[in-house]
């Protein structure tokens, strides 16, 4: 999968792409992340990417020209990507969304700043608008990183065979359950013991216990308001 990111803070992505699963995915050539500085598509001395809002009001707005020019430049190379605008007004990002995006060949993520994007970026570029949650960040970079991380670990060959995508939280879009409790050594820690069933070797019992724990936890923490 190829992922292009348009941002005014490209350096923010260096660490995320150079560590852990994302580094392994890039080394395995399963992921090609290209981060582009939106200011490279400005033409004034101040390399302006924002301007004051028409109609007045606080803050600044992302200008359309640099975004349109950057998208055109990045899309010169085929295949055409799925364009994604990270913004609080977008559809809420879920594991199901991640599963969908993981089937794409190429994504183009647009990270904003300030009060938001000039509306003509939405109208003219027809991006899929995605929000990582109903709260306001200083920029779209962290949402873009969250999306990349969630999608890349679903790419075939990225996580080792042992990883059980099927058993983890939200794995089943139809019935988003929370994952059961995990334990590792030591058997006893500060008076807290590992449940006997997990030491029993009785896999049928262990599965039943884990399903029950997942059901209880989901009911407790995700019951409908
Ligand atoms: C956001 C979110 C988000 C809004 C103003 C960036 C900020 C600033 N993006 N999911 N929640 N974006 O808060 O995606 O431009």
Reported as half-sphere exposure (CB side, CA atoms, 13 A), residue 4 has a value of 22
pLDDT at 42 over 70: yes
d(CA 101, CA 150): 10
Does 221 score more than 60 pLDDT? yes
Q: Is the pLDDT of residue 80 over 70?
A: yes
Q: Is the CB of 116 under 6 A from ligand 1?
A: yes
Residue minimizing CA distance to atom 2 of ligand 1? 88
pLDDT averaged over the chain?
A: 94
* C-alpha 147 to ligand 1 mean position (Å): 13
Ligand 1 atom nearest residue 114's Cα: 15
What average pLDDT does the segment 118-125 reach? Answer: 98
Residues above pLDDT 70, as percent of the chain: 93
- Whether 224 has a pLDDT exceeding 70, the answer reads no
R_g of the chain computed on alpha carbons: 22
* Pocket lining: 224 vs ligand 1, CB cutoff 6 Å: no
State the pTM of this model.
0.93
Distance CA 87, CA 213 (A): 35
Beta strand residue intervals within 31-173, DSSP E:
32-37, 50-51, 61-62, 82-92, 106-111, 128-131
Q: Tell me the pLDDT band of 177, cut-offs 50, 70 and 90.
A: confident
At residue 214 the predicted structure's pLDDT band, cuts being 50, 70 and 90, is very high
d(CA 151, CA 135): 21
Q: Identify the pLDDT of residue 65.
A: 98
pLDDT digits (tens, 9 = 90+) for 185-213: 999 999 999 999 999 999 999 999 999 99
- Residue 114 near ligand 1, beta carbon < 6 Å: yes
> Please, which pLDDT band fits residue 175 given cuts at 50, 70 and 90?
low
- Residue 51's alpha-carbon distances to 20, 114, 134, in angstroms, are 38, 10, 25
Specify the range with the lowest mean pLDDT, choosing from 13-22, 144-153, 155-164: 155-164
DSSP alpha helix (H) spans, the chain: 12-18, 20-27, 64-74, 95-101, 119-125, 141-152, 203-222
The pLDDT of residue 165 is above 80: no
Q: Nearest 5°: phi and psi at 48?
A: -75, 130
pLDDT band at 173 (very low <50, low <70, confident <90, very high): low
For a mutational test of ligand 1's pocket, the pick from 87, 127, 133, i.e. the residue with the most ligand atoms closer than 8 A to its C-beta, is 87
Q: Which residue, among 71, 60, 56, has the nearest Cα to 121 in the 3D structure? A: 71
Q: Which residue has the tokens 């969250």?
A: 146
Instruction: Tell me how far apart the alpha carbons of residues 131 and 143 are, in angstroms, rounded to a whole number.
Output: 7
**pLDDT score, position 167:** 64
pLDDT of residue 222: 86
CA distance 146 to 141: 9
pLDDT at 225: 61
């Amino acid at each position: 999968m190829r992922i292009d990111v348009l941002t005014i803070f490209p350096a923010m992505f260096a660490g995320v792409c150079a560590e852990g699963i994302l580094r392994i995915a890039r080394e395995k050539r399963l992921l090609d992340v290209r981060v582009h500085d939106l200011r490279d598509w400005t033409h004034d001395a101040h390399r302006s990417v924002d301007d004051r809002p028409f109609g007045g009001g606080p803050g600044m707005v992302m200008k359309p020209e640099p975004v349109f020019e950057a998208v055109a430049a990045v899309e010169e190379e085929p295949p055409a990507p799925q364009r994604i605008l990270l913004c609080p007004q977008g559809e809420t990002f879920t594991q199901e969304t991640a599963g969908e995006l993981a089937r794409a060949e190429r994504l183009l993520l647009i990270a904003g700043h300030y009060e938001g994007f000039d509306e003509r970026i939405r109208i003219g570029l027809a991006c899929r608008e995605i929000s990582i949650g109903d709260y306001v960040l200083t920029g779209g970079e962290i949402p873009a990183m969250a999306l990349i991380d969630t999608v890349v670990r679903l790419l075939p060959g990225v996580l080792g065979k042992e990883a059980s995508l099927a058993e983890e939280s939200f794995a089943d879009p139809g019935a988003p359950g929370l994952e059961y409790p995990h334990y590792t050594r030591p058997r006893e820690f500060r008076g807290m013991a590992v449940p006997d069933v997990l030491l029993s070797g009785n896999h049928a019992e262990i599965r039943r216990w884990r399903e029950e724990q997942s059901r209880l936890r989901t009911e407790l923490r995700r019951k409908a308001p």
